[in-house]
Structure formats: structure tokens, C-alpha cells
Chains A and B, each alone.
Chain A
Amino acid sequence: MTLSNMKFTLHIWRQESAKAEGRFETYMVDNVSSDCSFLEMLDILNEQLVNDAVAHPVCFDNDCREGICGMCGLYINGRPHGNDDGVTTCQLHMRRFHDGDEIWVEPWRAKAFPVIKDLVVDRSAFDKIIQAGGYISTTVGGVAEANSVPVAKHIADKAMDAAECIGCGACVAACKNASAMLFVGAKVSHLNMLPQGRLEALDRVRNMVVKMDELGFGGCTNTYACEAECPKQIKRQNIARLNRWWLASRLGRDRKE
């Protein structure tokens, strides 16, 4: 049943810049449809702020608004991407809230994700981890015919399960250690499981884990808050695989592994 005039009290984290001190500011929005997405509700607030010229609009990252680009990510009432399972913030709808609710909106909080402004954080640390080894080295001119290496369906499916990660950083935000092990585990699993990725498997895991530690992400707490909050429902088995590959690389097992 669609409601057309819901009302909310929003407590939103405002912070001018990385170095400025942040604080919560309170705003009211009304006439919100229950079919509205959370970000569309923030659009309504921003329209209101510009029209009334009382405060600058709230900055928040967003782009595709269909749950795949990984750009949006808000900490809503203490949960990354809010109180629905398996969705990003842009796919969270106001029908998940009650009319009159108070809602607390914060940026991701992690040492490796410093705040840029308001609800926008810097996630370039994820790019740096990928640059450390999150790829298979190929040359455009020198690859084999696509069907020359068969890949068992169940392997391809598992690789795809891991590859669905959108790099939004909810796993880091959910973890009390701000660990990136689910993100790294998913990429390592995706590539190391495929025959094409095997040659570089040990170097890959070593380089990515070292980079992850260097950038200030914490270790796994084994509480799996990451799995619970992941909008793409990436499984914690990826962390187990990461640990297994990491161990193999530490033991110096040869590359035929």
C-alpha cells in the first residue's frame, strides 16, 4: 500500500571538509511517498534546502541508482545501507520506515575511508588494493581462443558469486575493526578459482593482503557483520579462501598449487 505523505525527522552528519569537525544537524521532510527511495528522499531535502536557502545541500555519493555501481553508501540508523537486506542505499525504499520516524544518517566510518565532505568518504584505498594484484595479467594481442580452456560450471558459478562484489565498502563500515577482508577475499576468490587466474594466485594474495594492511584496514573479527550487511550478499567463505591462499603463499607452496 503506497503512502504519499510520510514525514521524517533526519539527523544528518555534516562536515565541511576532511579536516573540519563534524556534527549532526536535524532536518524535517514531509510529503514523502513510501515508493520513494532513500536517496530520492534526500533529493527532496536538498531541494528544500536550496529553495529555503537556509543551509547548503547535503553532499552524498550516488550514481547508477540501481544498486550496481557501488557509489552510494550511507550508514542509516546504525546499519550500512539501512534496514533492508541485500540492497544498496539507492534501493532502500521509504516503505521500510514508519511515518514519523527519526532517522540517523552517517558516512562510512573507517580509518582507511576518510570523510571528504558530509556523507562522502574517500574509498580510493580499494582502488589501491586492486592495483596491487586484483587482476589477471593479459596482453590484448596474445590470448587463447575463449573455449580452449573449459571451466567447470560450478567453478564459474562460484567465481561469479564472488565477482558480484560492487566495492561499496559496506563490509568495512560494518566491521568494528574496519576490516576489508570480505572485499579482498571476494576478489582473490573470484580470480584464484578460475584456471586463468591460477598462475598469479600466490603473488596476488600476498600483494593484496600486504597492501590492505598497509592502508590501515584491520584484521577479521570473525563476527561476520560484513556478510550480514553486504548488499550483494557476498559470503564469508571468501574470507576462508583468502586465509587459505594467504597461508599457501606464506608456506611458499609452489605455483602449481
Chain B
Amino acid sequence: MTLDSKIPEGPLSEKWTRYKEQQKLVSPANKRKMDVIVVGTGLAGASAAATLGALGFNVDVFCIQDSPRRAHSIAAQGGINAAKNYQNDGDSVERLFRDTIKGGDYRAREANVYRLAEVSGNIIDLCVAQGVPFAREYGGQLANRSFGGAQVSRTFYARGQTGQQLLLGAYGALSREVARGSVRLHTRHEMMELVVVNDADGTPRARGIIVRDLVSGKLERYAAHAVVLATGGYGNVYYLSTNAMNSNVSAAWACHRKGALFANPCYVQIHPTCIPVHGDYQSKLTLMSESLRNDGRIWVPKDKAVAEALRKGEMNANDVAEEDRDYYLERRYPAYGNLVPRDVASRAAKERCDAGYGVGTTGQAVFLDFKDAIARLGRNVVEQRYGNLFQMYQKIVDEDPYEVPMMIYPAVHYTMGGLWVDYELQTTVKGLFAIGEANFSDHGANRLGASALMQGLADGYFVLPYTLQNYLADQIYSGKVDSGSAEFEEAERAVNERMQRLLDIGKAAEGEHGTVDSFHKRLGHIMWDYCGMARSREGLQEAQKLIADLEEEFWTKVRVPGGTDEMNPELDKALRLADYFELARLIVADALQREESCGGHFRVEHQTDGGETLRDDDNFMFVAAWEYEGHGNAEAMHKEALNFEHISIARRNYK
């Protein structure tokens, strides 16, 4: 299989314009006859469904929650990047593009990233028009703040709830289309299977999905001319992550099983500022926005004995004198200080904790201190900027961060990998598109803060509505898709069989058994220990064995109560976990083949003397796109070479 990324000809800054000028369009009368399925209602899905509906397409949109407004984009805190240069601090499309490529450690596709930077300004214009209440200066102009990996202030924000406000904007636009009748909304529905139908000329095309009504448990069929997947990332394979409980990979994985290649699965972002783990009952980890690093200073004690005393509770953070504190990010990276990219900050925290300087009862935490900011700005200003985050911290940890420094530790947050897509955001299955976190395209090996919101909305509002038409223009002759065909029949049968198989295990297994969550936790431990912030060849090989054994145990001992024809969250979780096992194996295989360190992927064998990532551009400047080869079989890897024509490649340096 050769991967054609379909990057348009011409200079980088003209590619997108040229594409739009030359692409095919669908006439208004034909748009009404074209059915499009959008799965997911986060920033990418909601904005895509709303925009496609407004254009006149006939859209069915699905979400697993009880309302589109609950998609996990809602939890994004800090902000959204855009190259507006409102601060007159030297920002530009070119600079946002370069920061993103560099932040991604030169593992993203130039043309996609440039387009992202190019449309970033339009996003802000649109969101303001939708009534998103971004922070303002006293003169009424939009305010900005700084984020990691940039030396300009280009992040727009709405207190600590930027994702919420942007999602409510997209949800409003979507709701308007639902009222107009162009979009049909299906809440509490989960995609179970992709339906691929061969054309008259034998070309396989995505023509529909099988969904499960999570209330009645019944399977339903939906047919369409194209399917858009906007189902987010797969961080929950680690069990503990900052993702929502219901975020899962299954819809994307169903596409993968049907021929969509899965790219760069080992690129997982571990976010440096999360509330540390405190018990085995814990169901998720809570992020403290990166924006806190604007004003907070990260430190551990210089002296191990002091760290020990802090861990035992014999002294507290405020007792540590200024000269006894090691502001290790400021020390190691004077140019960017506390605002180094996430992967760099996370590894630096792990390095200090592993060396014995960690604090908190477990020793797996560092301080994020606002003492200086409060002295400099006053408590009021700090409260205005971060009030809701401080409140959240206080409720969870039961300590007042205005008085004592926060404790933080890295946690799994975002997944840069995802379904492989070309420049048009189309996967390797024709008619199947993937947008937002569900695709792999823009962030390389590490995503910069405030860029996920930018990408989700860029894809949904400004990119997909164009590229999808280029595909649909050729489909106007195909007529209504029939959901009664043998392919739909077969897809539905496969889903029923999978569900029944899971339910039967519990009935058959006498005695020893485990709950879905107990298996998920064990899988999460394996992934975190062997395929987390630091990875080694031996560790990854060990993980392969452990995952295979655990998967076998799962398929013989998991107990799933209830049946298929009712609301049954245990069954929902079991179906998702079954896919996580396959994904986990692929992540480890990908991490094993990538004999270099880049961005969030850190192989201990490949590092500089200073402990920084060491890329191998000669051998690994490619996207690894994996092809499913059947359950239990090793997947086949295909390479898409990354050609950097515009930017000069350099070692990332934040010192």
C-alpha cells in the first residue's frame, strides 16, 4: 500500500488557497440529497455537523452522552491559539506554523500544519460572533496569554473554561441546525461498526455505521454517502488519564478493523500539571491548566533530606527557604523557563522525582507555587485569572493553593496519534474522514498547549466542509444508500456476536472472575509502567507479554452482568476495553519500532548527555501507519515519509 498524502502543489503558503480554488463543489440542489454521518459532538464533530448542515447537507450526528454539550472538549481549560498578533509581539502565521512543527519535534506534516495556522484567525472571528465570552482588556479588546512552546502571547481564553465556552458556541450552532431540520441529533448512541460497501467498480467505500442505543441497547443502522469520525483520543487505554470516563477508542478502532490505517499510536502526551495520584480507587486524574505555568513556578527542594521531611509531613512547603528551592525548569531551560513544552516539563518532573527529590506522600509530585505571583500581582489578580482552577484543586485535595503551593505530577492527557488521514482529512477508507483528536495529522510527536481546540475547530469549521465536498461531488450519482444490504446485515451480526461473547464469559466462568474495571486498571498499570514517560526496549518487550496474558485472561474471566437489550454500562465498558487491548499492543509495537526519542516518545536508549530527546532524522522521519491484520496478529507498518521543504530541521532547544 502506498500512502498518498495528496498535498497540493505550489508554495506552502498558497497550497490551501489553490486547493480551494480547484476543488470540486456540490450544487445546492444536490447537497440536499447527500447524507453525511458525523460521529462525536466535541469541538470537531459539533462544528463539522453544524457547518455541513448549514451548507445544506443532510446530516445525522451521534454522541454517547445525553447531550452534545457534554463532549470532553468541554473540559479544556487554558485557551486556544491563533496568529492574530493583537499584542504586536511579533506573531504571524509563519511563526505559529514553525512553533507547532518545532513543538511536535519535526514529526508532523508541513502542509497540514501551515493550513492550521492559516485558518486560526478565522476561528477567533467566528467564535466571537457566536457569543463566546473571551477575556477582554479594559478597552474592550480581546486579551491574550502565553502558553508553553511559544515566545509570543497568542492564546485566547475564557477564564479557565475556554473549551467549555467554545463547545457551547459550536453546540449552539449545531442546535440551530437541529431546529432547522438539516441535522438530526442522536444522543446516547454509540458507534459499534463501520459499514464498507463496494462500488460497482469494486472500490470499497464507507457507506454507513451500526450504532447502539445506550438506553434500549438496540442496534440501529444508518446509511450515508460519507462518514466523519470525530470521536477524540485514546488516552483512557492507560485507565488513569485526564480524559472523561466515557472517552474511548472503539469507534476509531472499528474503522481501523475495516481498513483505516492507524498512525503514530505511540505519540501520547503526558501533561505535566495534573493533580497527583492518591489511591487505587481513583477513577481519573484532574488536569490543572498549563496556563498556570504563566505565573506559577515549579520547584522541588535542593536537598534530599528536606524532600524526605516533606514527604513524611515533618515540615511543609512554606518552611523551605528560598535558597533551598530548586526551580529546575528555570535552571535547565532559562530561555523558556516554566513555559517549556509539555513533554519537556513532564520528563523534567519525572527526572527529579526519580532522583529522590519528589514531594507529597508518594514522592511522585512537585510544587507549583504562586507565592511570587501573589506578591507581584495581588491575590485578586491571581483569583481572576485562575479562580476556578484554584477552587477545583481545593475541593479535590482539601488544601488552599493560595496558602500552600499546589502539588502536581504528569498524567496521560492527549493522544497525537490517531487515524491516518491525507491532506483532505480522508482516511485510507474512501468516504471515511477523521477530524480533531481522532486523526493524527497536525501535532507530530507532541502537541503544544492551546492547539487542540484550534485544530478541532479548524477541521470542523474551515477544512472538512471544503474537502468533504471534493469527495461528495463524485458521489451524486450513487443515489440513496440502502441500509438493508448484505454489508449492513453482516456488520450488525458481528456486533451482536461480540456482545454475546462477552456476556457468555461471565456465565460460563465458575469461581474466579474479574470486573471490567479490574482488568482495565491492570492494563493501565502495564501501559504506564512500560510505555509511559520513559520507554526501553526490554520494558516494551515485557509489556507485550504482559498485555497478551492479560488479554487472554480478560476473554476467559471477565464478568459482565445484564443483557444486551437494556441500559448496561458494564457491557459498554467491556466492549471498549476489548478494543483497548488490541490498541495497547499496537502502541507498544509502535514504540518498539521507533528507535529514537521525539516529543512525547522517549526511548531511554536514545537521549543526549543532558537527558534530552535524541531524534534519528535519517531513519525515522516518517509517519508509521499501521494496517490491521486480524485479531491477535501483528499489524503491518506502512511509512509516509515526511518532507520538510519549508522549514529547516534543527534539534529542539528550549534552553
Q: Which residues of A contact B (CB under 8 A)?
A: 17, 32-33, 35-37, 39-40, 43-44, 47, 50-51, 53, 56-57, 59, 61-71, 84, 86-87, 91, 93, 95, 116-117, 120, 122-124, 126-127, 130-132, 134-140, 143-147, 149-153, 156-157, 159-160, 163-164, 166-167, 190-191, 194, 196-197
Contacts and interface: CB of A to CB of B under 8 A. Distances in A.
Most central of A65, A138, A151 by chain B CB within 10 Å: A138
B523 to A, nearest CB: 16
Given A47-B515, A140-B462, A93 B161 contact: no
Nearest to B569: A59
B395 A84 contact: yes
B461 A146 contact: no
Contacts of B68: 127
A136 B121 CA distance: 20
B421 interface: no
Interface string B535-577: 0000000000000000000000001011000110110000000
Which residue, A32, A61, A135, A159, has most C-beta atoms of chain B within 10 A? Answer: A135
B131 A196 contact: yes
A69 B279 contact: no
Interface residues of B, number: 79
With a 10 A CB-CB cut-off, give which of B133, B164, B176 has the most chain A CB atoms: B133
Interface string B273-290: 000001101111011000
B129 interface: yes
Interface of B: 51, 54, 65-72, 74-75, 84, 86, 121, 124-131, 133-142, 158-159, 161, 164-165, 168, 171-173, 175-176, 178-179, 185, 187, 215, 244-246, 278-279, 281-284, 286-287, 391-392, 395-396, 398, 461-462, 465, 513, 515, 517-518, 559, 561-562, 566-567, 569-570
Contact of A136 (B130, B136, B140, B391): B130
28 contacts: A40-B282, A40-B283, A51-B559, A53-B561, A56-B561, A59-B569, A62-B245, A63-B72, A63-B244, A63-B245, A64-B244, A67-B392, A69-B74, A91-B395, A93-B396, A95-B398, A126-B67, A130-B171, A140-B54, A143-B128, A146-B124, A150-B139, A152-B140, A156-B134, A156-B136, A160-B135, A167-B69, A196-B128
Contacts of B517: 43, 47
Given A44-B281, A68-B164, A157-B136, 6 more contacts: A40-B281, A50-B570, A127-B175, A127-B185, A140-B54, A160-B159
Contact of A124 (B66, B158, B287, B392): B66
A160 to B, nearest CB: 4
B125 A156 contact: no
The 6 closest A-B pairs by CB, nearest first: A150-B140, A135-B172, A143-B129, A160-B133, A156-B136, A131-B179
A104 B165 CA distance: 34
A88 to B, nearest CB: 10
Nearest to A36: B281
Nearest to B563: A56
Contacts of B569: 57, 59
Given A139-B54, A160-B158, A70 B168 contact: no
Contacts of A50: 515, 559, 561, 570
B179 A87 contact: no
B281 A33 contact: yes
B398 A43 contact: no
Nearest to B185: A127
A43 B125 contact: no
A132 B179 contact: yes
B179 A51 contact: no
Contact of B395 (A87, A143, A163): A87
A163 B162 CA distance: 11
B567 A68 contact: no
Given A64-B75, A71-B70, A135 B86 contact: no
A118 B117 CA distance: 47
B21 to A, nearest CB: 15
Contact of B140 (A35, A70, A95, A151): A151
Contacts of A65: 244-245, 283-284, 286
